Amino acid sequence: VARIVTAGTEDSFACDWLQGLCDSVGARLAGSPGYEAAVAYAVRTATEAGFDRVWTEPFDGPCWVRGAEHARVLAPVEFELPILGIGMTVGTPAEGIEAEVLAVTDFAELEQRAAEAEGRIVLFNPPWGGYGESVQYRTKGAVEAARHGAVAVLVRSVTNHSLATLHTGMMSYADDVAQIPAACVTVEDAGRLQRLSKAGATIRVRMLMDHETPPACTQANVIAELRGRERPDEIVLIGGHLDSWDVGTGAHDDGAGCAITLAAAQLLAKLELRPRRTVRVVLFACEELGGHGGQAYASAHADEVSNHVAALESDSGSFAPRGFTVRSSDAVIARLGELAAPLSSIGAEAVSAGWAGVDIHPIVELGVPGIGHRTHHDAYFHYHHSPADTFDKIDPEDLARNVAAVAALTWLIAEDETSLRDLATEVETE
């Protein structure tokens, strides 16, 4: 383990790989040409990295195409209003939408002022309350506003630090209410509009969004495997998601997770450490549009899910290593705590119960011990789903330490006489 950690912290594979992905491929929204380029890049680089087998697994998944977007405040003072359509939003009619704005802080205020929402553009300007709290306005805002007759929604970007930065992400519609267009605005503009509203101004906005939600697109998970020396049918799956949003270059989300897990397995191969069990790196497709790559993997591998000893996902950025959160039985958590103890040298020894990951969730639900790779991601939401999630935000030393942590734990799980799967008799639910 010490050898892996030392070699990992000195290895530049992840950094080089991630730079190539972010700079030369760039944004890679599910179903886009960018995603196809990412698949080609991953297949080529994994093949060159000496994996025993590299392949893709195509499936039909959702896709969404951002078109032109434009908004302008017309009153009480005219100014351009940069917007970023929320993933899967419908567009506006071709002539756009022009309406008065109802600015509210949160769902509670919308309920109180529901009578004012008819025909309006509802602006949600919730203060940051942590991602889980704040993201609801992005995911559910359109449905809640449409229930009261709103014609569109604008949502404060989901972030705790803004320099006039737009953050997108996913949303959904409900079957029983009209589908209305939804876009994020900057923290700055959301605040300005709500202050103007509180000061008594009538705000009018014109917005135009030309988005398309085509029928399902073919997309592919990318898989690279290092065969186990003794129990090749037993699989330790590690991975991240290869798709990103269409703004920025998905450096932390989740180019880093792909780089870390691919580099971790590559490191074992380079060190000629062929573990007892097979290490399978899966770079999942279509996470951002609903975790469809993970579902496709679970379906395609239904026959061998029971052979998966563990699944580790890295999807919380590449900041300083912290450790792992585990979705499995107490016995699995305890065993992982023992295995990870030597990682204290790089600060990655913390193991606790918690969320494992969107992509591995379908197989974790089927009993596979799920492990989420965790870093000190205080700055994560500064960049998340925005044009600022770029390679310059990656610290090469943190990245290498994350590779070391994941490589070491992967080795230990794949080598361990005890199968984590056998310890996972009782799956905890959150």
Binding segment (CB under 8 A) for its own copies, from list 57-65, 185-193, 221-229, 300-308: 185-193
When asked if residue 290 is in the footprint of its own copies (CB under 8 A), the reply is no
Helices (H), 113-211: 131-146, 187-198
State the pairing for strand pair 231-241/277-284. parallel
203 binds its own copies (CB under 8 A): no
Q: Smaller CB distance to its own copies: residue 249 or 328?
A: 249
Distance of CA 336 to the CA centre of its chain: 24
Q: Is 134 in the site for its own copies (CB under 8 A)?
A: no
In 267-328 the beta strands, taken as DSSP E runs, fall at 277-284, 308-314, 321-327
The token pair at 398 is 């943190």
Shortest gap between Cβ of 419 and its own copies (angstroms)?
43
Q: Please list the residues that pair with 204 across neighbouring strands.
A: 75, 100
Among residues 3, 44, 53, 195, the one that binds its own copies under rule CB under 8 A: 195
Determine the distance from the C-alpha atom of residue 238 to the mean position of all C-alpha atoms in its chain, rounded to a whole number. 15
List the Cα angle 275/256/51 in 5-degree steps: 35
Give catalytic status of residue 287 as yes or no. Answer: yes
The least CB distance from residue 79 to its own copies, in Å, is 5
Q: Nearer Cβ to its own copies, position 324 or 391?
A: 391
387 binds its own copies (CB under 8 A): yes
| Distance spanning both ends of the chain, measured CA to CA | 32
**Binding residues with its own copies: total (CB under 8 A):** 36
Select from 316, 28, 66 the least CA-distant residue to 184.
66
**Which residue in 68, 87, 75, 65 sits closest to 206, CA to CA?**
75
Site for its own copies in 247-266 (CB under 8 A): 248-249
Name the one range near its own copies by CB under 8 A: 53-61, 194-202, 231-239, 328-336: 194-202
Active-site pick, 57, 287, 288, 349 = 287
- The Cα–Cα gap between 143 and 49 comes to 46
Does residue 44 belong to the site contacting its own copies (CB under 8 A)?
no
Residues at the interface with its own copies (CB under 8 A): 19, 22-27, 37, 76-77, 79, 82, 161-165, 186-188, 191-192, 195-196, 199, 201, 248-249, 382-383, 386-388, 390-392
